[in-house]
Amino acid sequence: MKIGPYTIDNPLALAPMVGVTDRYFRALCRSLGAGYTVSEMLAANPALRHTRKAALRSDFTGEESPIAVQIAGSDPEWMADAARYNVGLGAEIIDINMGCPAKKVCNKLAGSALLSHPGQVRSILRAVVAAVDVPVTLKIRTGPARAERNGVEIAVMAQQEGIAALAVHGRTRADRFKGCAEYETIRQICEAVTIPVFANGDIESPEKACRVLEQTGADGLMVGRAAQGNPWIFRQIRRYLETGEQATPPSPAEVHAVMASHLRQLHQSYGEEHGVRVARKHICWYLEGRKNAEPVRRKLMRAVTADEQFRLLEDYFSGQEVCREAA
């Protein structure tokens, strides 16, 4: 797959998720099999550019190329300016968010709310593509609502306006994350355009990944929520697609090592107090479904220092390894 001048040898992508896919999680997923990642969403509003949150999200230090940065907004001029600004910070690909269903985004006529306004979509695409000399990509949903699926129309428009690749989530704005993703619209989009298309939505296992590729004819897959607490999903999907074999699940020791490294990076980046709070959601995702994890999960949610989080995890995983050896 090519996005502009960039060859994506492994078209397994990590979906951009606010508050989740910071540069540390992106690097982690890359190390475990993702071939392409996109930054957390950055607001186009120039007044929000110099906050601590924006500074953290705009830090691409050490990122593997190509560095793809997602921007969101409704004003074509602001979006064009945001694209230029982020290219100046090191972005090698600009991704436009027209897929987010969150109310606080849609209430500002951004994200997936734009799908109800094709004229505004075209104005934004045209302005951003003209503003920068790097590839511009687009993330969308299948339409505003099930009775108004216009994903094919938007995709064709995107290609006409110079968009280099698409990512399509198989739900509408109205669906949010309810029900199941549908892949028929993604298949129709793949047939209607020649630019690369990532299929996105409910790709939670290697077998499902294989089925979605077969059903849609997509060029790549984009995994979002299924990677939360399970960055190994990329390794598992990649092995299955390449060999038809299942990857060996991570051992408790590997899970512990990855968790500890991830938490350490969060503590260092956000500062201990805030980093401990940020780490809590990741801890919940990592421990979900693990044997006898609920008691330690509750303690970890009350932990207020980094040392306490590390100690509780050490105690829990030491017990897991003892049980594994006894078995």
Residue type, 198: F
Q: How many residues does the chain have?
A: 327
Beta bridge partners of 12: 221
Six token digits for residue 293: 């994890």
- The number of angstroms, rounded, from the C-alpha of 62 to the middle of its chain's C-alpha atoms is 18
Sign of the CA dihedral with 230 first, then 232, 234, and 236 last: negative
First and final C-alpha spacing in the chain: 45
Residue type, 145: A
Contact yes or no for 172/145 (Cβ under 8 A): yes
CA distance 90 to 59: 9
Residue 70 DSSP SS3 = strand
Contact yes or no for 35/10 (Cβ under 8 A): yes
Is residue 100 annotated as part of the catalytic site, yes or no? yes
What one-character DSSP code corresponds to residue 204?
Answer: -
Of 29, 100, 106, 190, the catalytic one is 100
Residue type, 289: G
Q: CB within 8 A of 148, min separation 6: which ones? A: 116, 172
DSSP string, 8-39: -SS-EEEPP-TTT--HHHHHHHHHTT-SEEBP
Q: Report CA-CA distances (Å) from 87 to 102, 104, 128, 134, 158.
A: 26, 26, 12, 8, 20
Please count the other Cβ atoms lying within 10 Å of the Cβ belonging to residue 180: 10
Residues carrying an active site annotation = 100
